[in-house]
Structure 1
């Protein structure tokens, strides 16, 4: 008996070799990105890999060869993260001449500049932005422009350029523009191929720009080619919140859109269809740049066709592992979000759709058009026979339609469930209505994709061969594409925002995020185990237990009394929060609302601004407010009392950059109330916990000054003395020296504040000694970005130090600034340096 048990214990368990190799490859890649204990963890992983392979019945020689191949795959990661990364700080700290060779060329799309990847002679990779015509693979470039470390995430929920380039093994970047010095050209065979594909992609982008109007070309190019340089920030935002963002980054779904018309053609035999499909896949892969989703889908189609022809048994899990492993020939894919989103969505579809359709009782094989129907009894009467045949065809058409709709719903549902986790953390929220919107959006997206490729490969050559014949066809084609783009854009707009069903990760809180992740996990288990009611009961029990725990421990301390100064570049943006009341003062330049403010609001769980105060009409202050108005995220707007009346008659240069009239017009269209405030007015919220005293504009002084000086929105800026609990802040917008003098005369010691938001981004024409002597700030915040005005001026910084300011916090150096106000102290921290904290005692 004992001998028998020992024999059973020695029996090996069969494993899927592809799954083991794929898992080990991913582990090797991520190990080399670690900053600590790389060698011990690598040795442990090798031991685990060999042990599992041996226990799984794999040959020793196969294991050794596989281990060598896996290590070779991870060599590029080892080089960039372990060898070249150490040189980055030294290279970026000095402004010295450098030389390098471009290895990945730039693509000329709708944007003026392209981005290429260059290998320095000293080793590291560099992201180079400049003229796409000069950034060709094989070109050797010399320059003295300083190489910089890419900026990290500067605001909560904002874009992280450093992480994006790090996923490609790039730790340096430089903008050269037209300042390129091509010393020599060393093109290899690989460089010629890369330049050819880049030129083809550029020509495809140019075709869309030439034949479609500007409102259509950007989205059509993004959907067909994955080049997003032409879509507006608003379009990017609404597609993201509606759950349709994957449509503007080419994925495997686009291959389905492309091949769908071919499947309906009955006149072509199967062999011809296969060759035509392969040709279309290869062509589409080239013009789309072989993105991860397209590469993965093409590989799966090829492997499936090959396994059927060779009569090989290849299950879905092994198929996913094989395609994932082949894609890791470029190991940096494993560090990119697109790789995991594509792999996860594909796994959810291939493994989840069949059991889901079976559970729903849909008699249709996934991936097949064969519908199972009982035959109809047909009599001998010819008229009755024709009627029965017609009814049978109609029934078949209806069954096929219903089956297709359920298949699309099942595909969308499974893909969305798998992508819940990355959506919560990479896109700051989820949209439950995306299950339906994706099904509806599939129709216009398929028309755009198939129509766009048809235009590229059929109409574009026809324009040169038969221009007279192609002109009417091109007009019809452009009209059809334009209508499909308009429908898709309208759908994205209607499904975005809080009204469209989007829920920000901050809005649902940690408890909501945990419940959603548990729900996704349990739904997946229900489909896999095919025991939906049992799993559903267990899930509801777990959710009830979790809700009781949350209710028992309570939500103590969740009230937020905070002040945020967001980094919106060369502009101003301040957010005040007391309990659930939100006040936003300025919003930065146009598009900063979409790039910075709205992601921050979603991250913090804010779906509505109670009051938006526009200190004056210059675009670097009110541009982002206009973006928020477009998304109906503002309940009320406050503007300076002299803002609107003076703009119409003002003939100064300021009119060209003043957006007050645009803002008022948009607010009127959206039926959002606009009120005007001047010196002496006051806004009180939450029973006096937050009070805003308006110190300017002073109507009487403004009338006197305008008799002698031209209108100046900066001089008429709203200046606010704010008190949040016991903390006092002086927010000075773009106040001029004349305005500061009038404030000193009018308020004297009433200007005293713990924190000063320095006027006009630290300009030397503001923040005079007399004014700072009255304010006596402990902390100064300068909202500033890259500019050619010299902001902040050295004289202003010196005056702040002389006035006794203990710390000067600049958003261009420290990112967003956060003040957390408590009963007896204020904790001040910055987004780029979260560990450092400044304290103001009451």
Structure 2
């Protein structure tokens, strides 16, 4: 009798647990389904590509916003077979960057440009010089700790920046230029012009190069780490000439960049945000709100992995690498499977307890009959 009562209590307990578990799982499943329906378009674009089209085979131009974590690196593959690399990410991502460039069959970098001297933009520079042939090197108007000239250029004394400059000095045959708005790289179907800097500045982000790449009529505006005061200066100077198809927004989406004045004249369709896990709150809500207000479709390397744009015959196709989103989808699938498994566990234990109860009840009945017969 005690066994039967104990099993009855367990059965009651399992029923309560089952109800609670079912309610919790139901809430999660309903929320997941609702979010999937609400954000179906955004999810599909991130997992597959931005425009709903596949990438262009044998594209004339390719622009890769490479996922280097919290930093910047952009590869531009030109239609004449030349390659341009703008920034090279943090030192921690140097191996990842080298592997990515190798995967893209890059052997020679014709134009290697550092927008400014911050470690998250120049950290992979030494590895780039060691692994690839560099023809032309464009650098900020700042001296490293091992340089004394030009004396009028401010000193940026970090070891990371100095490592890149020393690596350049050890590179045979590389031409060196200081960033300025006089630089214009041209080909038959493209022009890549530095819009900024226009002078020597002491503040590091104020020296950040701003680049307009016109690739067969499709324009890419690369803002480096330029902040709003520089954006406003460029908007006043160039106005509608800043109009672009794609903008790589400044300073990883910091609140000090991506101002309304710039967006109002640039009118980009897409925005790439090069960002990784960080303690700065990048990309900030201020920057994202400005992009939304100007109907700019934005994606981050933190969510999507490397972002790739193909250009051919004045056609632009924008595709996200999608690797990270697919990983997230896989994790969600595993969690979903685990939840479904949990859904069945209470039933399993309830049925097991019920079966055990019936077995014990049968045994108790049989025992009672035997005792009754023995008394007779």
Query: Is TM-score (shorter-chain normalized) higher than 0.5?
Result: yes
Question: Aligned to 2:215, which of 707, 718, 724?
Answer: 724
Confirm whether residue 585 of structure 1 aligns to residue 104 of structure 2: no
1:776-817 Cα shifts (integer Å, max 9, x gaps): 111001000011011111011001111221x11111011110
Question: Aligned to 1:774, which of 265, 271, 274?
Answer: 265
Structure 2 match to 1:826: 316
- Retained in 2: the 8 A contact 1:565–1:573? yes
Residues 763/667 of structure 1: CA separation in 2 closer, same or farther (3 Å cut): same
Question: Aligned to 1:614, which of 114, 117, 120?
Answer: 114
TM-score by length of 1: 0.30
Aligned partners of 2:239 and 2:213: how far apart in 1?
16
- C-alpha deviation, 1:657, in angstroms: 4.4
Question: Aligned to 1:644, which of 121, 143, 148?
Answer: 143
Aligned partners of 1:819 and 1:762: how far apart in 2?
20
Matches within 5 A, 1:278-317: none
Aligned partners of 1:735 and 1:814: how far apart in 2?
24
Structure ranking higher in helix proportion: 1
Secondary structure of the structure 1 residue equivalent to 2:143: helix
Question: Aligned to 2:170, which of 662, 669, 674?
Answer: 669
- Retained in 1: the 8 A contact 2:70–2:277? yes
Residues 663/561 of structure 1: CA separation in 2 closer, same or farther (3 Å cut): same
- Retained in 1: the 8 A contact 2:254–2:287? yes
Aligned partners of 1:774 and 1:824: how far apart in 2?
21
Residues 767/681 of structure 1: CA separation in 2 closer, same or farther (3 Å cut): same
- Retained in 1: the 8 A contact 2:222–2:248? yes
- Retained in 2: the 8 A contact 1:572–1:588? yes
Structure 1 match to 2:300: 810
- C-alpha deviation, 1:635, in angstroms: 2.5
Aligned partners of 1:657 and 1:815: how far apart in 2?
29
1:47-77 Cα shifts (integer Å, max 9, x gaps): xxxxxxxxxxxxxxxxxxxxxxxxxxxxxxx
- C-alpha deviation, 1:632, in angstroms: 3.8
- C-alpha deviation, 1:592, in angstroms: 2.0
Aligned partners of 1:817 and 1:717: how far apart in 2?
22
Confirm whether residue 801 of structure 1 aligns to residue 292 of structure 2: yes
Aligned partners of 2:128 and 2:304: how far apart in 1?
25
Structure ranking higher in strand proportion: 2
Structure 2 match to 1:342: none
Structure 2 match to 1:683: 185
Aligned partners of 2:92 and 2:226: how far apart in 1?
24
Aligned partners of 1:669 and 1:778: how far apart in 2?
42
Ranges of 4+ aligned residues in structure 1 off by more than 3 Å: 556-560, 645-652, 654-661, 833-836
- C-alpha deviation, 1:738, in angstroms: 1.9
Aligned partners of 2:262 and 2:59: how far apart in 1?
35
- Mark the runs of 5 or more structure 1 residues left unpaired by the alignment: 1-86, 95-153, 155-555, 837-842
Higher alpha-carbon deviation: 755-764 or 620-629: 620-629
Aligned partners of 1:608 and 1:644: how far apart in 2?
26
- C-alpha deviation, 1:634, in angstroms: 2.4
Aligned partners of 1:801 and 1:827: how far apart in 2?
21
- C-alpha deviation, 1:822, in angstroms: 1.8
Structure 2 match to 1:511: none
1:433-479 Cα shifts (integer Å, max 9, x gaps): xxxxxxxxxxxxxxxxxxxxxxxxxxxxxxxxxxxxxxxxxxxxxxx
Between the two proteins, the alignment pairs up a number of residues equal to 272
- C-alpha deviation, 1:820, in angstroms: 1.1
Residues 651/822 of structure 1: CA separation in 2 closer, same or farther (3 Å cut): closer
- Retained in 2: the 8 A contact 1:617–1:658? no
RMSD, matched Cα: 3.2
Aligned partners of 1:639 and 1:658: how far apart in 2?
16
Aligned partners of 2:298 and 2:58: how far apart in 1?
29
Structure 1 match to 2:61: 561
Secondary structure of the structure 1 residue equivalent to 2:77: strand
The one of the two structures with greater contact order (alpha-carbon pairs below 8 A, sep at least 6) is: 2
- Retained in 1: the 8 A contact 2:197–2:207? yes
Aligned partners of 2:314 and 2:119: how far apart in 1?
38
1:487-545 Cα shifts (integer Å, max 9, x gaps): xxxxxxxxxxxxxxxxxxxxxxxxxxxxxxxxxxxxxxxxxxxxxxxxxxxxxxxxxxx
Structure 1 match to 2:244: 753
Aligned partners of 2:262 and 2:195: how far apart in 1?
14
1:163-207 Cα shifts (integer Å, max 9, x gaps): xxxxxxxxxxxxxxxxxxxxxxxxxxxxxxxxxxxxxxxxxxxxx
- Retained in 2: the 8 A contact 1:815–1:832? yes
Aligned partners of 1:558 and 1:825: how far apart in 2?
13
Structure 1 match to 2:343: none
Structure 2 match to 1:449: none
Secondary structure of the structure 1 residue equivalent to 2:139: strand
Secondary structure of the structure 2 residue equivalent to 1:715: helix
Matches within 5 A, 1:140-539: none
Secondary structure of the structure 1 residue equivalent to 2:123: helix
Structure 1 match to 2:9: none
Aligned partners of 1:825 and 1:559: how far apart in 2?
10
Structure 1 match to 2:194: 694
